[in-house]
A = this chain, B = another copy of it.
Amino acid sequence: MNAPTNHQFKLARRPVGMVQRGDFEYVETPVAQPGEGEVLVKVLYISLDPAMRGWMNEGKSYIPPVGIGEVMRAGAVGRVINSNHPGIVAGDHVVGMLGVQQYAVAKGKGLTKVDPGLAPLPVYLGTLGMPGMTAYFGLLEVGKPKAGDTVVVSGAAGAVGQVVGQIAKIKGCHVVGIAGGADKCAYLRSIGFDAAIDYKHEDLKAALKQHCPKGVDVYFDNVGGEILDAVLTQLAMHARIVICGAISQYNEAKMKGPSNYMSLLVNRASMTGMVVFDYASRYAEAAREMAGWMAAGKLKTREDVVEGLETFPETLLKLFKGENTGKLVLKVAEA
């Protein structure tokens, strides 16, 4: 076999503040061959997620940090070239932690087969992937919305937020999205949100008061910072806050805590953290239900596809600058 060349982004140093190209090393290497139980995959689409910023930091978290000199961790979908794993054959499409590279050698048991005939491949990184699972379990298992509840979600036009809001609508809630910019807000209204607040151009507290006259029953927080603090001032009694992320703070040297957290006391409210991996045994069940909603036209998906592995550092920055609408993916190859 004429081994093609692989290109990889490796973590070169721990970022300080906003992530930048110099935090990575872009290298060319021969494509490795799969060992026993392993699979060689040609990467087609790479998932860009806010959580990646956290994986670049030293220190204890829900998974170990990416080591210096290691290929940057990323979820991705690709086509199998060569398999030494039973149940996976060349030509299969698989999703898994394939990393920021053109070719990945991965353990077969960590991969999940997907069907490009049922949904476009990027959807398996978005609504039918980790972000969709995060939205589904975070909202339903932690937020526990009841019909008639007011549900607010931040980062609402992102991969997780857009799904949170649509599932909340399916469950009969009054849904308010917070996003940056008129275009994103128009998108949210177009997929059925009852209201969308442009936090960059509106008075957030006043807008929350207007759109949540009975207070906020469930707040799904993807952003932290000032937005979390503003929503805390508008809680309904016994409100549930789902802590899913804090993208506004990931590039800050020192996280800002929610100054208004005593609203939890006044309102007998709770703030609970969630990590999607805890629900792995139920992903298939959730994917089935969400695929059904998609087929019925109740759950729409949108992906923001950027081409070219070599653009990875700058494309990742789109997340932290709030420039993406829908799931941000990097297209590495056509097929």
Q: Is A255 located at the chain interface by the 8 A CB criterion?
A: yes
In the complex the two chains form, what is the Cα distance from A265 to B271 in whole Å?
A: 10
Contact yes or no, B278 A273, CB < 8 A: no
Quote the shortest CB–CB distance from A98 to chain B (angstroms): 24
The contact of A259 among B257, B264, B278, by CB within 8 Å, is B257
Question: Which interface class (under 10, 10 to 19, 20 to 34, 35 or more) fits A?
Answer: 20 to 34
Quote the shortest CB–CB distance from A93 to chain B (angstroms): 31
Residues of B within 8 A of A60 (CB): 266
Q: Mark A52-81, 1 if CB is under 8 A from B, else 0.
A: 000000001110000000000000000000
In the complex the two chains form, what is the Cα distance from A308 to B103 in whole Å?
A: 80
Q: Contacts A266-B61, A272-B270, A273-B266 known; A259 to B256 CB distance under 8 Å?
A: yes
Q: Mark A229-244, 1 if CB is under 8 A from B, else 0.
A: 1000000000000011
The contact of A266 among B259, B269, B272, B275, by CB within 8 Å, is B275
Quote the shortest CB–CB distance from A144 to chain B (angstroms): 12
Q: Is A262 located at the chain interface by the 8 A CB criterion?
A: yes
Q: Is A213 located at the chain interface by the 8 A CB criterion?
A: no
Q: List 8 A-B contacts (CB under 8 A).
A: A246-B262, A255-B259, A255-B261, A256-B259, A261-B271, A264-B273, A270-B271, A271-B272
Chain A interface residues toward B at CB < 8 A = 60-62, 224, 229, 243-246, 249, 254-275, 278
A-B pairs with the 4 shortest C-beta distances? Answer: A257-B257, A265-B273, A264-B273, A270-B272
